[in-house]
Chain A
Amino acid sequence: MLTKLTSFATVGLKSERITVEVASSPGEGDITIVGLGDTAVQESRQRVRMALRSSGFRLPTGHNITVNMAPADVRKVGPRFDLPIALGLLIVYGLIEVEEERLRNMAFVGELSLDGTLRHVSGILPAALACKEAKIPSFAVPWIDGGEASLVTDVRPIAVGHISELIDVLCIDAPPPKIAPPTTALEQYPTLDFADIRGQLLAKRAMEVAAAGGHNVLLSGAPGAGKTLLAKALRSILPPMSIDEALDVTQIYSVANLLRSDCPLMRERPFRTVHHTASGVSIVGGGQIPGPGEVSLAHRGVLFLDELAEFPPAVLEVLRQPLEDRTITITRAQGSVTFPADVLLVAAMNPPQEGNPRSERTRKRISAPFLDRIDLTIAVQSVPIEELAQRTTGEGERSAVIRERVIQARERQRARFAGTKLTTNKEMGIREIREHCTLDATAESLLQTAANKLKLSARSYHRILKVARTIADLDGSERIEHGHLAEALQYRQPLCEG
């Protein structure tokens, strides 16, 4: 006897359709699992047998069982095939009767516990998307992952807590348990507000520009000047994610198994802080079975590198390509995987000083090509103690106000790039820059002189134009004025003090 069930395996960020074939023949009673599964897949034999026993089934003896997972050349990882294997065994043993049609219209993913309950597995959202693509109408998942599976429209999620519930759904067409609606809890606004930061008007403005255009920022300033505070406050002025962006980010977190079960959809932009001891692989992703790294986990959000000068040069060089291409392709002997890596990089460092040998080292560590990819370089000045002590002076702008402006600017960008793949100014290529960043004569001459004086590279030249475009967007202006360009040039300060 033979039966076929559909499941999904995670390959990179995508899910691949896997057909789990279960067949039996008379024999000694062995269970063989073939199809390039790892140890967790091999061990599912014991889990499945025990789970079925404790769910009240008596497994007959005298059958040799072969489980084949096709296509056989895709590496299958993890215990997610327990559920289809268990159902296949029950059907092959003749313990349950399921209509062929119903079996074909359902996909199964889930890990079995020894008592037959279903446990959480990673990568449910990509699997549900693949399910939709494969035109399979329903998708059986563990109860915990029901919210995640229900994010995809056109696929009916069947979230069950125990395998016997699923058998009821399959055999006697019982209604599946209701999925708890995903908590659409309001985004948790970060407690740190821009109004709480005294002074730092220039730096605050630069953060606003960065948030509006998605530009990379380098904050350089004396210890204790408030660099880290500014970076953390950036969270509070980032615009909310659209549903598509949120789905993108959720997929990455789902594959990395970092999704919280109580909020299946990531509504808040990620903010990843990386310590300077992090390895290159942990930042860009990798491993024997390539998984996403920090730069992918910060997709559509902020990647914050504190103490930039302490990072090993090799690690920073590794970031160059993803910063430019906004994707990262990891190639291993097993194959290559592409992860999205559209991040807003915020770096903070203490400025190197002339004549200090340690500062010489600092300057060597951060290469010019890396600095070239940073649009806004800001010297954060220490706030005088007198100003800090004054409690009566008016507070700065609240984050909510700044955020409103940022959202307006982003809207303007989206309207401009309507019909193309772009959404923010930082994604503009040469052609888009030529089209959208036209300068008038005075501005043109200003840029000429600045470029000659600062010895700008071609990339820097274009980046300044992009920043100027964002500033104009914040201002609500269709054209880049002289003032916008001047402000953009101001954000390209030399790294070194005096």
Chain B
Amino acid sequence: MRRPRPFWLWKKNWERPPEHLVTGAEGEACAVAYLQDEGYRILGRNVRIGRHGEIDIVAEDPVDKTIVIVEVKSTRSLNPNFPPELHVHWRKRICLRYAARKYVQRFPEECGYRVDLVCVAGRRVIGHYKEIRLGGGEGGGRGNRGVRGERGYRGEYCNRFFPNR
């Protein structure tokens, strides 16, 4: 007897992008519009760094003139029990920390930066958290294992999920 075709090979699944990616892209568009309203200058979008790192939006703060690494989290539902910021998993924090530190190294001069979180729910920006803490100590790059006991510490779980880091 033939096994049924797996769901990811169904035709409707490769003819349009998956739902979660659509949500994310819509959220990022909302966030860009919001940031431009706030006076931020957009320096880049979906900057890929390394294997796991992706920065959703890179912007410049209008007041401090510092680089802002913006992570956008979006949901479609407006359920207050499941806000978008709930989904900043510590695995994501490791990626973001690594990506941010790698990104600022591209500039020839030393520059300050911060990491912001913009939350989008139902195509509206519902929160902008400035200068979020990603854990991890001084220094950056592959060797930075963070602080033991803190979220984002590169312990056994990290190795399990990112065996190459």
Contact = CB atoms under 8 A, between A and B. Distances in A.
Interface of A: 25-30, 58, 60-64
A62 B110 contact: no
Interface stretch (B19-27, B38-46, B58-66, B77-85): B58-66
A29 B114 contact: yes
A61 B114 contact: yes
Contacts of A64: 112
Residue of A58, A60, A63, A64 with most chain B CB atoms under a 10 A cut-off: A60
B48 to A, nearest CB: 21
B113 A28 contact: yes
Contacts of B138: 30
| Shortest Cβ-Cβ A-B pairs, 4 listed | A62-B112, A62-B66, A26-B112, A60-B64
Contacts of A58: 63
Interface of B: 61, 63-64, 66-67, 110-115, 130-131, 138
A53 to B, nearest CB: 13
Given A27-B112, A30-B138, 13 more contacts: A25-B110, A26-B112, A26-B113, A27-B113, A29-B112, A60-B63, A60-B66, A61-B61, A61-B66, A61-B114, A61-B131, A62-B111, A62-B113
Nearest to B113: A62
Nearest to B66: A62
Contact of B64 (A25, A28, A30, A61): A61
Contacts of B115: 28
26 contacts: A25-B110, A26-B66, A26-B110, A26-B111, A27-B112, A27-B113, A28-B113, A28-B115, A29-B112, A29-B114, A29-B131, A30-B138, A60-B63, A60-B66, A61-B64, A61-B66, A61-B112, A61-B114, A61-B131, A62-B61, A62-B64, A62-B67, A62-B111, A62-B113, A62-B114, A64-B112
A60 B131 CA distance: 11
A382 B150 CA distance: 72
Contact of A28 (B61, B110, B114, B130): B114
Contacts of A60: 63-64, 66
A135 B67 CA distance: 45
A114 to B, nearest CB: 19
B68 to A, nearest CB: 8
Residue of A28, A58, A63 with most chain B CB atoms under a 10 A cut-off: A28
Contacts of A26: 66, 110-113
B93 to A, nearest CB: 13
A27 B140 CA distance: 12
B38 to A, nearest CB: 14
B157 to A, nearest CB: 24
Nearest to A58: B63
A64 B104 CA distance: 14
Nearest to B65: A62
B99 to A, nearest CB: 13
A58 to B, nearest CB: 8
A61 B130 contact: yes
B97 to A, nearest CB: 9
Contact of A63 (B63, B112, B130): B112
A379 B61 CA distance: 84
A63 to B, nearest CB: 6
A62 B67 CA distance: 8
Contacts of B113: 26-28, 62
Contacts of A61: 61, 64, 66, 112, 114, 130-131
A26 B111 CA distance: 5
Contacts of A29: 112, 114, 131
B59 to A, nearest CB: 12
Contacts of A30: 138
Contacts of A63: 112
Residue of B63, B112, B113, B138 with most chain A CB atoms under a 10 A cut-off: B112
A30 B131 CA distance: 10
A172 B67 CA distance: 33
Nearest to A60: B64
Nearest to A30: B138
B163 to A, nearest CB: 27
A27 B63 CA distance: 16
Contacts of B61: 61-62
A30 B67 CA distance: 15
Residue of A58, A60, A62 with most chain B CB atoms under a 10 A cut-off: A62
A26 B138 CA distance: 13
A25 B112 CA distance: 8
A57 to B, nearest CB: 13
Nearest to A63: B112
A58 B130 CA distance: 13
A172 B48 CA distance: 50
A63 B65 CA distance: 11
A323 to B, nearest CB: 52
Contacts of B64: 60-62
Residue of A29, A61, A63 with most chain B CB atoms under a 10 A cut-off: A61
A65 B64 CA distance: 15
A89 B61 CA distance: 20
B45 to A, nearest CB: 21
B103 to A, nearest CB: 12
A62 B61 CA distance: 10
Contacts of B111: 26, 62
B136 to A, nearest CB: 9
A49 to B, nearest CB: 11
B94 to A, nearest CB: 15
